Amino acid sequence: MLGGVYAISAVGLVLTYKASHIFNFAHGAIAFFVASCFYELNTRRGWSIGAAAVLSIGIIGPVVGLALWAVLFRRLTHASPTIKLVATVGLFVAIPPATQFIFGDEQIFRAPGLAGNTPDVVDILGTRLDADQLIIFGAALTVALILALVLRFTGFGLSVRAVVDSQTMSELVGTNSKAISAATWAIGCFLAGLAGVLVAPIINLSPGSYAVFVIASFAAAVIARMESLTLAFVGALLVGVIQGLSVKFLPSSGILSHGVRPSIPFAVMAVFLLIYSNLGREPSQPDLAGAATRGVQHHRPPSDRPWWRRGTLYVLGAAVLLLGPQMLDTFWIGIVAGGLALAIIFLSFTVVTGEGGMISLCQIYFAGVGAIATAQLATEHGWPIGIAILAGGLIAVPFGMLVAMLAVRLGDLYLALATLSFALLLDNIIFRIEDFDQVGAGVFLNRPAIGSFTFDSDDRFYYLLLAVFVVLAILIANLRRSTTGLELGAVRSSETATATIGVSVVRAKLTAFSLSAFIAGIGGGLLATYRYLALPSDYSAILGIVWLAVVVTWGIRSPWGALVAGVALPVISQLVSDNLEPRYVLLTAVAFGLGAIGLAREPRGMLALQGQQLRGAARWSHQRLRRTTAGTPE
C-alpha cells in the first residue's frame, strides 16, 4: 500500500524537478499542510469527504504550488544548485510549524483518509483490502495513466518536454517556459497533497512522520535519476513491495523489525546513488565533478575597514562573551551554555559546507556518535569524562571518512540525499540499540573535572565550552589559510578545474568530512554532558536539517555565524516561551526556515547582511556629517 503513495509523491517530485531543476525538499511539508487542511475541514468542521478533498487537494494544493513558484521558485531559475537546495530546506523547516500554528499542535495518531473513519473491507482473490487501500491503488494508477496521456498526446505535454530538453530553444519557438514551470509546480503540489491525504490513515498526522514518509519516496526519484516519470513510478512500487515483503522475512520485534524495516527506502536510495556514481552516470548531473555549493560565498571580499576597526569589533565580541556570566542570572547562563554546546557542533557545518562547499545532512549523526561514545566510555567503562569526550570526537572521524568516500563522486543534490539517507539509516539502526537508548531513558553523564576542580556549575561549564569553541574556531581559521584550505576553496569553486591542476579532490573531501565529524563529535559529547544525558533521540536526522537551516540563516562560512546560530536557537525559543503563549514558540522555527530561504538574497548569511547594512548606514552618516561640516547643501 505504501508503494502506491510513494509513487504519487515521487512522480510529483520528478515532474517539478524536470521542469525547474529544483528538487523540492519541502514536498513532505506541503503534504502535511494539505493533509492538515483536509483533517480540519472533514473532522473538525464536519465537511463531507468529497467537499473537503476538492478544497484541500484540488484547490489549496495547486494554489500553494503557484504561490511558492511566484514568490520564490521563479526567482531561483538561474540560481546555483546550493541556493535552490537550501531554499527548499528552508520551506521544509518553516511550513510544518506554520501549519501547527494555524491548526493546532495536538497529537493526531490516526486521521481519516478518503474512505472515512471506518473504511469497508472487501475480499479480492483471497486478499482482504480495506477501502483506503483500494483508493490508494486506484489513485496511483489514475495518476500514472493521466500524466502519461497528457505528456504524450497534448500540447501542454509537448511544451513540458520541450522546456525540459532546452528552455532557451523552447522560448524561441514561442513556448512560455514560465507558465509551464508554474503549471508543473501546481501539479507537483497537487500530487503532494494527494499523497499526504492518502497516507494519513497509515501514519501519524505529525510533521516528523510526513518528513520521513516523503523522504522515503526520494528513493524512487533517485532510481529515476530525476528524469523518468515511469521509472519513478515503478521504483516507488518496488520500494513498497520490498518493504511489504520484509514483514514476512524479518522478526516481528527487535532491531531488525523496528530498525531495518523502516530503513529499506533509505538503503535503496543509497545503493542506487552508489551504482550511478560508480558507473560515472550520476543522475541528471551533466558535470559529474560538480561545482558544489557555488551559491555559498566563495571568497571573502577584501574589507575596506581599517585593521584597528576590525580588531575593535573582535575585542568587543570577546568582552561580551567573557563577561556573559557576570551579566546573566543562573537560569540564563544555563541557556546560553547550551547554545555554546550547539555552536561547537555548528562549527562542523562551517568546515564541511562553508569551507568544503558540500551540503551535508548527517552532521547531527556525527554529534550523536560523539555523545553516545562519550556516555559509553565514561559511564559504562569508567573513563575520565574529558578523555571520553575527546575519544568520542575521534570515534566520529571514521564515520566522516566513510561518508566522504561514498560521496566523492556526487554533486550538490545527490550528496545531500546520500548524507541524509546515511543519517536516517544509522538513526534507525545504530541509535536504536538498547545499550545506547535504554528504553528511551538514555545514559547518564557527569560533567568534566580537572583534578578536584569540577565544571558542575553552569557558569564554569560556560567558560569550558567557550574555551573549546575558541580553540576550534582558531583551528578553522588556520585551516582556511593553509594549503589544505586553499585546496578546499578550489574544490568548492570547481572540482573539474581542481583535478586538472593536480589537486586531489578525494583528499580535500576526506579532510573536510573528517575534521567536521571530529568537531561534531566533540560538540555532541559536550552537549550530552551539559544535559547530563546522552539520549539518541536528541540527534535525529530530521532535527539535523533544522540545524542546517539555522546555521545558514546566520552565516555558513563564519565561526561567528555558528556562534550566533547556536546561542540564538535556545535563547530565542526561551524568550518566546517566557513572554508569549506556548504556540508562538512554533514561530521561531518558521523564522529560521525563512532565514534559510533568505540565502538567495545574501549567500553569506544574516550577519553579513546586517554588517553590510550597518556599514552602509555608517558611510551615509559620515558623508552627511562631512557635508554639514563643510557647509555643503544636502
Q: How many CA atoms lie within 13 A of 377 on its CB side?
A: 22
463 Cβ neighbours under 8 A, 6+ residues apart: 325
Q: What is the DSSP string of 256-284?
A: IIIIIHHHHHHHHHHHHHHHHHHTT--TT
pLDDT confidence bin for 297, thresholds 50/70/90: very low
**pLDDT surpassing 60 at residue 308:** no
CA distance 6 to 241: 11
Given this model, what pLDDT does residue 269 score?
83
**pLDDT surpassing 80 at residue 605:** no
State whether 447 and 573 are in the same domain: yes
Instruction: Tell how far CA 499 is from the center of its chain.
Output: 29
Q: Give the end of a domain, one of 187, 217, 247.
A: 217
The domain spanning residue 538 has which CATH number? 1.10.3470
What tens digit of pLDDT does each residue of 346-358 get? 999 999 888 888 8
**pLDDT surpassing 60 at residue 69:** yes
Residue 244 host element (H or E): helix 229-249
Q: Give the end of a domain, one of 217, 251, 268.
A: 217
Q: What percent of the chain has pLDDT over 90?
A: 23
Look-up: residue for cell 552565516? Answer: 555
Q: In this structure, is residue 282 part of a structural domain?
A: no
State whether 56 and 205 are in the same domain: yes
Given this model, what pLDDT does residue 82 score?
74
Rg (CA), the chain: 25
Q: Is the Cβ–Cβ distance between 469 and 317 less than 8 Å?
A: no
CA angle 267/24/169 to nearest 5° reads 115
Query: Dihedral sign, CA of 195, 38, 67, 26?
Result: negative
What tens digit of pLDDT does each residue of 412-446 get? 788 888 888 888 888 878 887 888 888 778 889 88
CA distance 498 to 520: 27
The mean predicted confidence, pLDDT, of the chain is: 80
**pLDDT surpassing 50 at residue 12:** yes
364 compared with 79, residue with greater pLDDT? 364
Q: In this structure, is residue 608 part of a structural domain?
A: no
What tens digit of pLDDT does each residue of 149-184 get? 888 888 777 777 676 666 666 666 667 777 888 888
Q: Is the Cβ–Cβ distance between 88 and 26 less than 8 Å?
A: yes
Distances 408 to 179, 290, 514, 526 between C-alpha atoms, Å? 37, 10, 13, 30
Query: Left if phi > 0, otherwise alpha if psi is -120 to 50, otherwise beta: which for 513?
Result: alpha
Q: In this structure, is residue 232 part of a structural domain?
A: no
CA distance 585 to 590: 9
Residue 548 host element (H or E): helix 541-554
Q: In this structure, is residue 371 part of a structural domain?
A: yes
State whether 209 and 79 are in the same domain: yes
74 Cβ neighbours under 8 A, 6+ residues apart: 178, 181, 182
Q: How many CA atoms lie within 13 A of 502 on its CB side?
A: 0
Q: Is the Cβ–Cβ distance between 572 and 588 less than 8 Å?
A: yes
Q: In this structure, is residue 502 part of a structural domain?
A: yes
Q: In this structure, is residue 82 part of a structural domain?
A: yes
State whether 478 and 348 are in the same domain: yes
Query: Left if phi > 0, otherwise alpha if psi is -120 to 50, otherwise beta: which for 329?
Result: beta
- HEC string of 17-39 equals HHHHCCCCCCHHHHHHHHHHHHH
Q: And the C-alpha cell for 97?
A: 510549524
Q: And the C-alpha cell for 117?
A: 473513519
Among 48, 203, 204, 36, smallest CA distance to 114 is for 48
Given this model, what pLDDT does residue 437 score?
83
Q: Is the Cβ–Cβ distance between 282 and 276 less than 8 Å?
A: yes
Q: Based on the number of CB atoms within 10 Å of its own CB, is 319 exposed (0-12), middle (13-18) or buried (19 or more)?
A: exposed
Q: And the C-alpha cell for 265?
A: 527506502
Amino acid at 485: G
The 3-state DSSP class for residue 451 equals coil
Q: How many CA atoms lie within 13 A of 616 on its CB side?
A: 6
- HEC string of 387-441 equals HHHHHHHHHHHHHHHHHHHHHCCCCHHHHHHHHHHHHHHHHHHCCCCHHHHCCCC
State whether 593 and 449 are in the same domain: yes
CA distance 520 to 547: 12
CA distance 244 to 234: 15
State whether 209 and 337 are in the same domain: no
- Return the C-alpha torsion angle 255, 406, 232, 243, nearest 10: -10
What tens digit of pLDDT does each residue of 232-291 get? 888 888 888 887 777 666 666 655 555 667 778 888 888 888 787 666 555 544 333 333
Q: In this structure, is residue 9 part of a structural domain?
A: yes
Q: How many domains does the chain have?
A: 2
Range of the domain at 160: 2-217
Neighbours of 278 (CB within 10 A): 10
Q: Is the Cβ–Cβ distance between 569 and 550 less than 8 Å?
A: yes
Query: Dihedral sign, CA of 285, 289, 293, 295?
Result: negative
Q: In this structure, is residue 204 part of a structural domain?
A: yes
Query: Poorest-confidence range of 139-148, 272-281, 397-406, 485-494?
Result: 272-281
CA distance 611 to 626: 22
Q: Give the end of a domain, one of 217, 239, 271.
A: 217
Given this model, what pLDDT does residue 53 score?
93
CA angle 373/379/380 to nearest 5° reads 80
Q: Is the Cβ–Cβ distance between 410 and 277 less than 8 Å?
A: yes
